[in-house]
């Protein structure tokens, strides 16, 4: 059986290290290398000398060598780095799994243009459970009218996370808005401290907590006059995101050019 060759962007980051270790442990996959920011202290050192990743490959600052060798690149970095890596991947016909959060609408449109050349799967959250939650939120939002139920989204993450609300929370908001045939841009309320006003019909509110080492918790609440429905997902650790990303890489290795999401993996195998 031919192994699927995987490269990892941001290979010494929190997700990058977990991904690299799991790739090496998976008999369907081959870890062909990874790369880091050019200013990282461990550039040009062997993985097994500076991390728990059992590979004698060198850690590169140049993405091209690893991407050239790979069938699939997995990228959990920053929006700008992701765009630069996709450009290189498109030149080398390498598929890309994107778990980077904080990607703007304009950046997403650029990614979709690249997907005409290579297969790209992008998700704000790689957990299969969270992606099922997306669909449950859409169904529930559609069933419960805005005149009867208010929507609030709460998320909690570790203290190292920079973007807020999380990409997952915003995606949950997108699905909630979609269920009510509107857009999140029209209905989201990110900050209630700037002006004093009553909650408006159709508002989708967000609250954010950062602390400790919490992998990720998301709650979508539908609050009525006489009852409340909570749809909740709690990640105990990062392994669910790693598993989802590797499942996505295997899925994408069999696909032609195009833009894919975790929904395609879940429901259109």
Domains of the chain: 4-122+238-267 (3.40.50.720), 128-235 (3.30.360.10)
Identify the pLDDT of residue 166: 92
Identify the pLDDT of residue 196: 85
**What are the residue ranges in the chain where pLDDT is below 50?**
none
Catalytic residue check, 161? yes
Catalytic residue among 28, 45, 158, 161: 161
Identify the pLDDT of residue 237: 86
Identify the pLDDT of residue 102: 84
Residue 85 CA to residue 74 CA, distance in Å, equals: 10
Identify the pLDDT of residue 107: 97
Catalytic residue among 21, 60, 138, 157: 157
Identify the pLDDT of residue 269: 59
Catalytic residue check, 233? no
Residue closest to 16 by CA, chosen among 215, 212, 242: 242
Identify the pLDDT of residue 138: 97
């Amino acid at each position: 059986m031919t192994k699927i060759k995987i490269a990892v962007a941001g290979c010494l980051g929190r997700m990058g290290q977990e991904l690299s270790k799991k790739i090496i442990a998976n008999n369907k996959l081959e870890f062909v290398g990874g790369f880091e920011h050019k200013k990282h202290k461990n550039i040009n050192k062997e993985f097994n000398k500076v991390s728990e990743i059992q590979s004698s490959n060198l850690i590169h600052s140049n993405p091209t060598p690893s991407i050239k060798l790979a069938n699939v690149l997995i990228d959990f970095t920053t929006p700008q780095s992701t765009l630069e890596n996709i450009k290189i991947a498109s030149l080398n016909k390498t598929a890309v799994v994107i778990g980077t959060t904080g990607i703007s609408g304009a950046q997403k449109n650029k990614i979709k243009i690249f997907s005409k050349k290579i297969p790209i799967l992008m998700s704000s959250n790689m957990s299969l459970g969270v992606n099922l939650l997306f669909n449950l939120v859409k169904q529930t939002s559609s069933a419960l009218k805005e005149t009867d139920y208010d929507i609030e989204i709460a998320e909690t993450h570790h203290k190292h996370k920079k973007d807020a609300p999380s990409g997952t929370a915003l995606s949950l908001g997108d699905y909630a808005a979609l269920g009510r045939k509107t857009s999140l841009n029209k209905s989201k309320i990110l900050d209630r401290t700037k002006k004093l006003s009553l909650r408006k019909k159709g508002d989708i509110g967000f609250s954010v907590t950062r602390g400790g080492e919490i992998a990720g918790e998301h709650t979508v609440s539908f609050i009525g006059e006489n009852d409340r429905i909570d749809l909740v997902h709690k990640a105990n650790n990062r392994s669910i995101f790693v598993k989802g990303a590797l499942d996505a890489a295997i899925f994408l290795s069999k696909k032609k050019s195009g833009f894919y999401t975790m929904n395609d993996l879940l429901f259109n195998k």
